[in-house]
Amino acid sequence: MNPTKFQMPMFRDFVPEAVRPWIYLFFAFCFQLTGSVYFSQSAQMMGEWSLMREDVQMIAMFGVVGVNMPFPFLFRFKLRFTNQQLLINAACVVLVCNLLSLWVTWVPALCVISYVAGFFKLCGTFECFSNVRLWLSPKQDFGIFLPSIYIIILAAMPASNWLALRLLTLCGSWHAMHWFVAALMLLIILVQFTCCRPWRMMPRPLPLLSLDWLGCLLWSAVMLEIIWLFTYGEYYNWTDAPLWRGVLAALPLTLLICIGRMRHVRHPYIDPKVWPHARLVPILLLFFVAEVMNATPHALQNTLTGGVLHWGFTTTQQFYVAELLGYAAGAAFTVLWGAGCPNWGPLPRMGFKYTRLLTVGFAALLLYQVMMYFNVSATLNVERLYVPTFLRTFGYAIFFATMTLYLKDLIEFPTFFMALTVSGFIRNGVGESFCSGLYSYGMRRQIADALNRGIHSDYAQVLMVAVKEMYGIMCLVGVFVLLVMMLYDVQPVRSTMKRMMPLKKLGRIVRRSLSAEPPHPFNAGSAHSPQPQPA
């Protein structure tokens, strides 16, 4: 196989070559649709199983953390198993987890099921994208490849919620979405058995040695403890509950164990070389700011539409179409006019620097906050929220894709996926749960202050005033951050974006690292054992 030419030898000969990459893109979209909990139908799940809102949110966050953790293992899986084994196993595990989530009602068990489903969801998605990388970017340019796959990844989030609502409306049960996802997984398994053959990149599979599974679980525990603290903070009234204080006390202990293991294990889950980068902390801060700005729809807009305007599912599902279009347009904008992208036919290349692209994305996020501040009223109609929703998702897609590109340009390829996991500590779960707890606390304080002052006697008016004040605070914060970004200009680390490393070269690097393992101290006959000295 020519590593510089796009080929898909895993397909059988009767499958047309023009259809093969589209099949794998469809598989990736199917994996992205999966989830043990869908926020659009969480109310039905809570009513049927008598769950709290915090329980449903925690189950969903376990799945988000599970999606973030496989990154350091993905290439090792690809160098060990065949393409058919990876996709069939991932589809089978996701299928079983979706079916189990229909009947299991114990919250801890549902959390574990959600974590496992998220873990294998990313494994299946990565296998699909890694096989079409040369089709998406023949020159192996990350400036084209990463934003292109984010069109599917980001667009699948509103698509799954919209599809869940449509199936709920048509079938009258929230189980319909899980059965639909199970049917998609069965389709993937059927296509793999009928249209594909076992095929692997390396002629000799690399064994799964030196994978720090315990480190993966420990870092997952750190993330989940932080998420639990902010998810159940309002329910337990923060530090008033002994259970909340106990989890807070266990968090630094778990973090110290993770750091100690990272420093003393030969092949840690996260290499210590990832942390010393001078620009890693600013990247994490920018991810955090983007999550804070992007979390307002779930905490504030839903409060306005549900608690004040009393809109139902038929009305709110229209926003998912605007979100899908915004995510796709933002990722496409990053591809066509981003840093490191070549000319595409008659389209001009503006060649934005990283900061300019981030400024465009953050300005769109800020414009959403400003428009929502002026839209908060009791006579708001649904058409006035289409443009703000589109701008928010458009800006978030630009911000998300550009920050990932900058992270790739900053860190070497062998440790890039570890850096993705580190950035996922903020991006996948922790940032969202922190913002949810922060906004809930802020709304409670604003409502209590308005009621104490007796400004309005109607609770709906008090709620609307609190939402408007929170949007105003976010507008002020966003203006300050935007001014800082406009004053700070970041050049690309290199004049051209680094190319993707061929998998065979990566396999040789991993093989050399494994062959350099020190001998076991109990191996008999070792040449490295000390010889007795003469008296």
Res 30: pLDDT: 92
The rounded distance, in Å, linking the Cα atoms of 41 and 434 is 22
Res 218: pLDDT: 93
How many other CB atoms are there within 10 angstroms of residue 220's CB atom?
20
Residues 6 or more apart whose CB falls under 8 angstroms from that of 445 comprise none
- Of the pLDDT bands very low, low, confident and very high (cuts 50, 70, 90), residue 394 is very high
What is the phi-psi region of residue 340: left when phi exceeds 0, alpha when psi lies from -120 to 50, beta otherwise? left
For residues 37 and 60, the answer to whether their CB atoms sit within 8 Å is yes
Tokens of 311: 């809109």
Res 78: pLDDT: 86
Tokens of 150: 């984010």
Q: Which of 100-114, 299-313, 327-341 has the highest mean pLDDT?
A: 100-114
Q: Bigger pLDDT: 346 or 329?
A: 329
Average pLDDT over residues 367-383: 88
What is the phi-psi region of residue 525: left when phi exceeds 0, alpha when psi lies from -120 to 50, beta otherwise? left
Q: CA 324, 326, 328 angle in degrees (round to 5)? A: 70
How many other CB atoms are there within 10 angstroms of residue 341's CB atom?
22
Mean of per-residue pLDDT scores for the chain? 82
Give the single-character DSSP code of 503: H
Residue tagged 């990566």 (tokens): 506
Res 9: pLDDT: 83
How many other CB atoms are there within 10 angstroms of residue 442's CB atom?
17
pLDDT of residue 70 exceeding 70, the answer is: yes
Worst-scoring range by mean pLDDT, 132-141, 454-463, 478-487, 518-527? 518-527
**Directed axis angle between helix 175-195 and helix 142-171, to 10°?**
130
Res 531: pLDDT: 45
**Rounded to two decimals, what is the model's pTM?**
0.85
Q: Bigger pLDDT: 307 or 60?
A: 60
**Directed axis angle between helix 242-264 and helix 213-231, to 10°?**
150
Res 29: pLDDT: 93
Half-sphere exposure of 361 (CA within 13 A, CB side): 34
Q: What is the pLDDT of residues 188-247, one digit of tens each?
A: 999 999 988 888 776 777 777 778 899 999 999 999 999 999 989 888 888 888 999 999
11 bridge partner residues: 196
Each as own residue / partner, the long-range contacts of residues 295-298 (CB below 8 Å, 24 or more positions apart, any chain) are: 295/431, 295/432, 295/435, 295/436, 295/439, 296/368, 296/369, 296/372, 296/439, 296/470, 296/471, 296/474, 297/389, 297/392, 298/39, 298/432, 298/436
pLDDT of residue 380 exceeding 90, the answer is: no
Res 526: pLDDT: 40
Res 525: pLDDT: 41
Tokens of 250: 């266990």
Res 171: pLDDT: 86
Res 494: pLDDT: 41
Residue tagged 């209590």 (tokens): 448
For residues 426 and 291, the answer to whether their CB atoms sit within 8 Å is yes
Residue spans of beta strands (DSSP E) within 319-458: none
DSSP SS3 for 69: coil
pLDDT of residue 502 exceeding 70, the answer is: no
The rounded distance, in Å, linking the Cα atoms of 521 and 529 is 8
Worst-scoring range by mean pLDDT, 133-142, 274-283, 526-535? 526-535
Residue tagged 């509950």 (tokens): 241
Q: What is the pLDDT of residues 421-461, one digit of tens each?
A: 888 888 777 877 888 888 888 888 878 877 777 666 677 78
Each as own residue / partner, the long-range contacts of residues 315-321 (CB below 8 Å, 24 or more positions apart, any chain) are: 315/382, 317/40, 317/161, 317/162, 317/165, 317/166, 318/382, 318/386, 319/158, 319/385, 319/386, 319/389, 320/40, 320/158, 320/159, 320/161, 320/162, 320/165, 321/158, 321/162
Rg of the chain taking only CA atoms, in angstroms:
25
For residues 69 and 214, the answer to whether their CB atoms sit within 8 Å is no
Name the maximum alpha-carbon separation found in the chain.
Answer: 98
The rounded distance, in Å, linking the Cα atoms of 85 and 192 is 9
Q: CA 182, 172, 98 angle in degrees (round to 5)? A: 20
